[in-house]
Amino acid sequence: MTDARSIILHEYPTSPYAEKIRLALRLKNLAWSRVEIPVIMPKPDLMPLTGGYRRTPVMQIGADIFCDTAIILRELEARYPMPTLKLPGHEGLAQMVAGWTDGRWFQASVAVIFGALADHVPEDFRKDREELSGGQAFDTAAMKAAAPMMRDQWRA
């Protein structure tokens, strides 16, 4: 088994998905190191490592590369089962909560945060997020308009 000190997390500090992994690593008391990657493209050191996968985070253990938060969490649990991140008998509930936080809660959070920052979002960031979403507009004006309703979603 690979020594936990060989875990390398490729991420940037403000990524909420990377924060999930950082929390899991801390909960499991695993030693790890980090490589800070750019928030937006280009990501010249990450892209060759992942074969073109550009999202954050990416975990490296030795020569093995793991992309996607859910895959990374499953791999950590498989390699380092104790302490567990699972609630035995409640796996379905855990998946449901993860789906909700990665879906509706995340979208509400994006609208609230970027709605508040609407006038200050750099153009290169906006374009990068549009590219990441397959061309869907990263419309900060719409987010600003939706922010009050999204705050209500948080409170609900």
Residues 55 and 98 in one domain: no
Domain assignment present for residue 144? The answer is: yes
Provide the residue range defining the domain that includes 8.
Answer: 4-79
Q: What is the pTM of this model?
A: 0.84
156 occurs within a structural domain: no
Stretch 117-128: mean pLDDT: 92
pLDDT digits (tens, 9 = 90+) for 82-116: 999 988 888 888 888 888 888 888 888 888 898 89
Does position 3 have pLDDT exceeding 80, yes or no? no
Residue 73 shares a structural domain with residue 22? yes
Report the 10 Å Cβ neighbour count for 85: 15
With a CB cutoff of 8 Å and minimum separation 6, the contacts of 72 are 21, 24, 57, 59, 66
Three-state SS at 110:
helix
pLDDT digits (tens, 9 = 90+) for 27-79: 999 999 999 999 999 999 999 999 999 999 999 999 999 999 999 999 999 99
Predicted pLDDT of residue 5: 60
The tally of domains found in the chain comes to 2
Amino acid at 43: K
Comparing 8-12, 47-51, 138-142, the range with the smallest average pLDDT is: 138-142
> Would residue 117 count as lying in a domain?
yes
